[in-house]
């Protein structure tokens, strides 16, 4: 089910501003890929091109190719809505729908798609997704309470549950743990390792240990200078990146000698 992603020389723009230049990357199915790099180098921007969320921003556009199992996401006749149903996303800031209950948040994807399902089936989906996100035990007694009433870490796991409820083939995560305590972070890292058996996962993180712990491969993005576009500098096995990177910039960054 999980799909592979091949990006070929992708340029990403905000109106006229080139944010990411000439990025190419091959992501194998059922792997975890980490994006690391200094702030503003275009990790989020690049990540959002993988499910066509980039073009939601006014002026956002790309040129180049993003292939999902050989099919160009930006090809003619491809509906971004279908792309986003296939490639799920979890954001840096937990964003449950404030007007919905925990239950409704989890099944939001089905409601949006207008999929008709019986109550029992929905109950199953909610339980399965919440268990998948390690949240079930904490919320099973208050599924009808507002999702926004949970703690930050719980909200983030709720968002993960919402993303996996619709069974995407790829899951993109933009700094999913940046606002979480070490325990929630660990819970989410464990979760990523579990989800890896079913989904292709791409995760942006500023936490080197996290990248080292959860990912199979790591991509290092960097900025050549202020006002310059971000570039994908190095992409390799995580162990290689963290032990013996080929690029000097990568080594400087991971050893904290950046800048």
Ligand X SMILES: Nc1ncnc2c1ncn2[C@@H]1O[C@H](COP(=O)(O)OP(=O)(O)OP(=O)(O)O)[C@@H](O)[C@H]1O
In this structure, the number of other CB atoms found within 10 A of the CB of residue 251 comes to 17
Q: Does 120 bind ligand X (CB under 6 A)?
A: no
Work out how close the CB of 202 gets to ligand X at its nearest, in angstroms, rounded to a whole number.
Answer: 13
Question: Using the 8-state DSSP alphabet, how is residue 220 labeled?
Answer: E
Triad 214, 217, 220: Cα angle to 5°: 105
Q: Does 44 bind Mg ion (CB under 5 A)?
A: yes
The pairing of strands 32-36 and 230-237 is unpaired
Pick from 30, 67, 78, 100 the residue near another protein by CB under 8 A.
100
Q: Does 98 bind ligand X (CB under 6 A)?
A: no
Pick from 3, 13, 36, 43 the residue near ligand X by CB under 6 A.
43
In this structure, the number of other CB atoms found within 10 A of the CB of residue 181 comes to 12
Listed ranges 21-29, 39-47, 72-80, 129-137: which one lies at the site for ligand X (CB under 6 A)? 39-47
What is the side-by-side order of every strand in the sheet holding 87-90?
Answer: 71-72, 60-68, 5-14, 17-27, 230-237, 217-223, 32-36, 200-204, 170-174, 87-90
Q: Does 91 bind another protein (CB under 8 A)?
A: yes
Give the contact letters, 171-210, x = binds to another protein (CB under 8 A), - = no: ----------------------------------------
Q: Does 85 bind another protein (CB under 8 A)?
A: yes
Q: Does 57 bind ligand X (CB under 6 A)?
A: yes
Q: In whole angstroms, what is the distance from residue 134 CA to residue 184 CA?
A: 10
Q: Which does 40 bind (CB under 5 to 8 A by kind): Mg ion, ligand X, another protein, none?
A: ligand X
Beta bridge pairs of residue 63: 11
In angstroms, the first-to-last Cα distance of the chain is: 42
Pick from 42, 153, 168, 176 the residue near ligand X by CB under 6 A.
42
Query: For residues 114 and 227, which CB has a smaller minimum distance to another protein in the complex?
Result: 114
Q: Does 96 bind ligand X (CB under 6 A)?
A: no
């Amino acid at each position: 089910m999980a799909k592979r992603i091949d990006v070929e020389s992708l340029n990403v723009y905000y109106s006229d501003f080139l944010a990411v230049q000439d990025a190419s990357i091959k992501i194998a199915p059922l792997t975890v890929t980490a994006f690391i790099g200094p702030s503003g180098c275009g990790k989020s921007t690049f990540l959002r091109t993988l499910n066509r969320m980039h073009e939601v921003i006014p002026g956002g556009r790309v040129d180049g190719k993003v292939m999902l199992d050989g099919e160009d996401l930006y090809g003619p006749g491809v509906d971004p809505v279908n792309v986003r149903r296939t490639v799920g996303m979890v954001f840096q800031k937990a964003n449950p729908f404030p007007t919905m209950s925990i239950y409704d948040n989890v099944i939001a994807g089905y409601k949006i798609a207008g999929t008709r399902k019986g109550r029992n089936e929905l109950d199953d989906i909610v339980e399965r997704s919440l268990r998948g996100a390690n949240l079930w035990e904490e919320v099973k007694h208050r599924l009808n309470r507002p999702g926004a009433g949970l703690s930050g870490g719980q909200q983030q796991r709720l968002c993960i549950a919402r993303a996996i409820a619709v069974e995407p083939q790829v899951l993109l995560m933009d700094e999913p743990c940046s606002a979480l305590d070490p325990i929630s972070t660990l819970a989410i890292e464990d979760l990523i390792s579990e989800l890896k058996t079913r989904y292709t996962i791409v995760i942006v993180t500023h936490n080197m240990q996290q990248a080292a712990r959860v990912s199979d491969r790591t991509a290092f993005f960097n900025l050549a200078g202020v006002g310059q576009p971000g570039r994908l500098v190095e992409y390799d096995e995580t162990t290689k990146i963290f032990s013996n990177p080929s690029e000097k910039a990568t080594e400087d960054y991971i050893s904290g000698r950046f800048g």
